[in-house]
Amino acid sequence: MAYDSLHKRLRGPITKALEKELGIQNPHALPRLEKVVVNVGINKSKMDSQEMREYVAECLTKITGQKPVMTRARAAISNFKTKKGIVVGSVVTLRGQRMEQFLDRLLSYALPRIRDFRGLPRKLDGHGNYAIGIRDHSIFPEVPPADAKQIFGLQVQITTTAESDEEAFALLKEMGVPFRPEREKKKEEEEERKRREERVAREAVARERASSATAETAPDASGKTQETGGQKNDASIERKAKKPNT
């Protein structure tokens, strides 16, 4: 059986399947692909060198067929030891034929090469877009593992014109995106709920600590910083010791 490219299927079988599934007769109203963004973050400990930045750019060019653009930090972030203007990643934005060719290779060749691959999460972002995280760039046939100087991960963001996650999911499913079985969706939702609760708890602890620190150093009505109980007692004892006997 001859293989039909994604470009051909998007304009044939996929369109007919979406019309039937979504009940949309106007083909111009059907959800369609808008763009694909491939992004690689530069890890400071492993890839913060001119040689590695050039290697990442070379690999992205081979994988996507388009030269990437270096992204730079817009502001300094002390927690991440990031200075304003330094290179923090490489990004490629694909549209049209290059986008379709890249997705064709991703779905047909790259993802099946992942060891113990069990499918992709079924969760979208709420706006009809979908992100795929890839840990090893060497799954792409354009970059053989033997030629890999350093293994790095990348993120593939698929943007669609869908008005809802349901429409976008139908489009991606017809394209052949290997989603996990439906029975694992509840497990993903439970894990997401736990992560959200843990994040809320950490934020509450951080706010409580910040509030306590502010209360300890807050000035009183006279403009002087309030003293703790121990400091007040020490100061009172010192004043009594200095008071002359009458």
Q: How far apart are CA 229 and CA 112, in angstroms?
A: 66
* Cα–Cα distance for residue pair 55/198, rounded to 1 Å: 37
**Sequence-separated contacts (24+) of 184-190 with Cβ below 8 Å:** 184/119, 184/122, 185/122, 188/121, 188/122, 188/123, 189/123
Q: What is the pLDDT along the chain (246 residues), one digit of tens a residue?
A: 445 788 888 888 999 999 999 898 888 899 999 999 999 987 665 556 778 888 888 999 999 999 999 887 776 666 656 666 677 788 999 999 999 999 999 999 999 989 888 889 998 998 999 999 999 898 998 887 777 778 888 999 999 999 999 999 999 999 999 998 876 666 666 777 888 889 899 988 888 888 887 776 666 555 555 545 455 555 555 555 555 554
Distance, in Å, from the CA atom of 214 to the CA atom of 219, rounded to the nearest integer, reads: 10
Residue with tokens 């121990």: 230
Torsion of CA 10, 11, 13, 19, to 10 degrees: 90
pLDDT tens-digit map of 150-205: 888 899 999 999 999 999 999 999 999 999 887 666 666 677 788 888 989 998 88
Strand 33-41 relative to strand 69-72: parallel, antiparallel, unpaired?
Answer: unpaired
Q: Would you state the pLDDT for residue 206?
A: 86
pLDDT at 1: 42
Q: Tokens 């070379």 identify what position?
A: 58
Residues 122 and 185: beta-carbon distance below 8 Å: yes
Give me the CATH topology for the region 32-181: 50s Ribosomal Protein L5; Chain: A, (3.30.1440)
What are the extents of the domains in the chain? 32-181
